[in-house]
Copies of this chain bind each other. A is one copy, B any other.
Amino acid sequence: MNIGEIARRAGVSRSTVSYALSGKRAVSETTRRRILQVVDEAGYRPNASARALAEGRTRTIGLVIPPAGRRLTPVQLGLVAGIVAAADRQELDVLLSPSGGEHDRSFERMVSGRRVDGVILTEIRLRDARAVRLRRSNIPFVSIGHTADADAGCWVDLDYERLIAGCVHYLADLGHRAIALVNRPQEFLDSGYGPACRGLAGFSAATAARSLDATAVCCADETMAGESCVGDLLAARPEITGIVTLNEVALPGMERALRRLGQAVPERFSVTGVVGRHWAEEFHPPLTAADVPISEMADRAVELLAERIAAPAAPDRHVLLTPPISLRASTAPPP
């Protein structure tokens, strides 16, 4: 079933069918109705490839996620779901590409095959080869997180520096004097992953400003790692009374380690940080934390990308979010 067949059945030309469906030119009421009826009966929908070829756009966006092997964190997962849902609202389809490094085949297929009108990059690095590639190919893109050159490109991000600093000040205000940052894995820091780097920067600056006894450690994205990390940390520095974290995957393990060490939360020990709301609520007791506004980030990213696709020459737009700290039950003055 194609447009020619519809045209034949309705007794009109192919162009008239096209105009009747798109509304881009006037079509008399009677023919329009006849065409729509034929279309309905046949269950006709234009072939996406043909339409993409003719229109020069695919009505599809690419979503680049970390490569397989690396497990997605719950926040990333939520982001994917949110982006797909937001795209659906704009009648956009989503092509998934797991690519991190330089020469990823699916990324290359997507970009040089012009399979998509635009791309959303997740887990972007401060210097990111994929962003460079997209810019060179002149393909609109929006990143979740930003590169070293913050002014270049469109992005949606959290102000990790300020958020983590806010957590530090919050603990300091409660009276804590020795606190630790449990960061994402070391290799993320090394490769210039924004949240890890800027979070650390915020932690260092704020602890210095308040003259706190500060310790920053990295921790693999694993429950187990969280457990051993906190165990080691408190063994080495028993004076620590509070933790700030942005490693949500490690949270359950941290909870377990604190319980094992008899560090009741929040009576004897405080925990806070920046994590997805859902995971903050599953902590025991519920975590006082800045909640990552996942679906807002997804919505804004798709929105920005859609604008960008519509007006590729428009100036870059940025969205920097600073969600408030949600007071729950994991923080208190030190004993």
A115 within 8 Å of B (CB atoms): yes
- CB within 8 A of A113: which of B48, B109, B114? B48
A44-59 interface with B by 8 A CB criterion: 44-53, 58
User: What chain B residues lie within 8 Å of A49 (beta carbons)?
Assistant: 49-50, 52-53, 58, 114-115
User: What chain B residues lie within 8 Å of A68 (beta carbons)?
Assistant: 81-82, 84-85, 88
User: What chain B residues lie within 8 Å of A115 (beta carbons)?
Assistant: 48-49, 93
Whether B114 lies near A47 (C-beta < 8 A) is: yes
Whether B113 lies near A88 (C-beta < 8 A) is: no
- Encoded as 1 (CB less than 8 Å from any B CB) or 0, chain A from 78 to 94 comes to 10111011001001011
User: What chain B residues lie within 8 Å of A12 (beta carbons)?
Assistant: none
* Minimum Cβ distance to chain B for residue A179 (Å): 26
User: What chain B residues lie within 8 Å of A88 (beta carbons)?
Assistant: 68, 98, 105-106
Select from chain B the residue with minimum beta-carbon distance to A49: B52
The answer for the CA separation of A78 and B74 in the assembled complex, in Å, is: 11
- What is the copy number of this chain in the assembly? 2
Given the interface pairs A68-B85, A93-B95, A282-B223, the reply to whether A48 lies near B105 with Cβ below 8 Å is: no
A189 within 8 Å of B (CB atoms): no
User: What chain B residues lie within 8 Å of A95 (beta carbons)?
Assistant: 60, 93-96
Most B C-beta atoms less than 10 A away, residue of A51, A53, A105: A53
* Minimum Cβ distance to chain B for residue A283 (Å): 10
The answer for the CA separation of A292 and B179 in the assembled complex, in Å, is: 40
A77 within 8 Å of B (CB atoms): yes
Given the interface pairs A49-B58, A72-B77, A223-B282, the reply to whether A84 lies near B113 with Cβ below 8 Å is: no
A153 within 8 Å of B (CB atoms): no
A191 within 8 Å of B (CB atoms): no
Given the interface pairs A47-B114, A49-B52, the reply to whether A93 lies near B109 with Cβ below 8 Å is: yes
A15 within 8 Å of B (CB atoms): no
Whether B46 lies near A113 (C-beta < 8 A) is: yes
User: What chain B residues lie within 8 Å of A97 (beta carbons)?
Assistant: 84, 93
The answer for the CA separation of A71 and B98 in the assembled complex, in Å, is: 21
A110 within 8 Å of B (CB atoms): yes
Whether A109 lies near B91 (C-beta < 8 A) is: yes
Select from chain B the residue with minimum beta-carbon distance to A110: B93
Whether B48 lies near A114 (C-beta < 8 A) is: yes
A13 within 8 Å of B (CB atoms): no
A326 within 8 Å of B (CB atoms): no
A residues near B (Cβ < 8 Å) are: 43-53, 58, 60, 63, 67-69, 71-72, 77-78, 80-82, 84-85, 88, 91, 93-98, 105-106, 108-110, 112-115, 223-224, 252, 256, 278, 282, 284
User: A71-B81, A84-B98, A252-B252 given. 9 additional CB < 8 A pairs?
Assistant: A45-B109, A45-B113, A47-B53, A48-B114, A49-B49, A69-B85, A93-B110, A94-B95, A223-B282
User: Please, could you name 18 A-B residue pairs with CB atoms under 8 Å apart, sorted by A?
Assistant: A47-B53, A47-B114, A48-B113, A48-B115, A49-B49, A49-B50, A49-B53, A68-B84, A68-B88, A69-B85, A72-B81, A85-B98, A88-B98, A88-B105, A94-B95, A95-B95, A95-B96, A256-B284
